[in-house]
Structure 1
């Protein structure tokens, strides 16, 4: 649903780097999937998400201390290619091991100060690609079942409703407020993972 609406409105450089990196992350994670505890992994991801959310929220206070007083705290960070590939690798690995790759994607995209539309389009394209790439690995590991397929089909109407609601809100919210909302949910998800 989302992919069709946001088709080619994403930040192409970020999508490319994240997807290329995710392939390696998915391959590596699929090799250790049955040997790792996702409980500890979720706590690490949760702690990282909380730390990032706090640092990003407090950026107007700590950035001037680094000697960048003349630079606006709303300035977009420009990541190097290797940083995008590394973020993609962790996103792919965490997505495969604990279905938490989205948090890494958000942490990579937020500092770039993309427009609301570009942010949502980029996350949508990345999530879709991640899940598509994981299919053969999950199939090989025998992680699919008829029950999962039935549940997925049953959720389709709700997914469509959520997408339409998201599109409507996306067009009404300012970029500054949008970033704050994303940070709030990132922090809340991190807390949930830490306490879960």
Structure 2
């Protein structure tokens, strides 16, 4: 049985899942960060996160097949223990605010704006960090940060990139390390999501309907990667993420706010 979600849910869900697939294929950098905030515009934050987790694991399987055995063992050994701690802390936060949807929306909105700010300063930040390799303690700490943000919003890319990029790994090894790390993190998240009751049987039909789109997104990402630059695509996605983050914080439709202000002004 399909849950009684609003019609707009399917628009946001289909868009979010395709973006996830495109990102896993290596096109558009970290555009997958938009998936949870976008879906949270039409359903609860907890439902959005719970529906996306199995879909992320499916995309991980596609990506792991391509990058199997291609990863940096030293980075994985440092980051994964921290990620376990980050997932645990993220689960505690989720559990504490589970009954406070506005707090979760505001938190997700703030995270969205933080990711937009990161993207805007990414080149300068990573350029400065690339001057020297971060210490082992940074790998553990940034692994924890990635686990935390991934648990709340399936968006652990920025902390992981901040640690991995200065390692000056070959591109395939960099991508393969990221793929393996987040595949493990997503599996770690299953236990706390299940314990908190986020993984509901009622969402299985929705997940099954959306699952084929993960493959569509991956294939589309491969196609785009071969033929186009991701510059303008990134700008579009992060502009959408900016607007989504603002809307989550305000708790009101931005178009509705504009219309109301125009009426008051008139």
User: Shared topology, TM-score over 0.5?
Assistant: yes
Following TM superposition, by how much is the alpha carbon of 1:3 offset from its aligned partner in structure 2, in angstroms? 1.0
What's the counterpart of residue 113 of structure 2? Answer: 47
User: Is it true that 1:9 corresponds to 2:88 in the alignment?
Assistant: no
Q: Secondary structure at the match of 2:68?
A: coil
User: Is it true that 1:87 corresponds to 2:142 in the alignment?
Assistant: yes
Q: Would you say the 8 A contact 2:87–2:148 is kept in 1?
A: yes
CA spacing shift, 1:184–1:114, aligned 2, 3 Å? farther
TM-score, with length taken from structure 1: 0.71
Q: Would you say the 8 A contact 2:84–2:188 is kept in 1?
A: yes
CA spacing shift, 1:139–1:186, aligned 2, 3 Å? same
CA spacing shift, 1:27–1:182, aligned 2, 3 Å? farther
Following TM superposition, by how much is the alpha carbon of 1:181 offset from its aligned partner in structure 2, in angstroms? 7.7
Correspondence 1:1-196 to 2 at 5 A: 1-36=62-97, 37-58=103-124, 75=130, 77-112=132-167, 114-167=169-222, 169-170=224-225, 172=226, 184=235, 187-188=238-239, 191-196=242-247
Distance 1:4 1:137 in 2: 26
**Matched positions, count:** 181
CA spacing shift, 1:102–1:148, aligned 2, 3 Å? farther
Q: Would you say the 8 A contact 2:118–2:158 is kept in 1?
A: no
Q: Secondary structure at the match of 1:144?
A: coil
Distance 2:235 2:136 in 1: 28
Distance 2:232 2:69 in 1: 24
TM-score, with length taken from structure 2: 0.55
The unaligned stretches of length 5 or more in structure 2 are 1-61, 98-102, 248-266
CA RMSD of aligned residues (A): 3.4
CA spacing shift, 1:187–1:83, aligned 2, 3 Å? farther
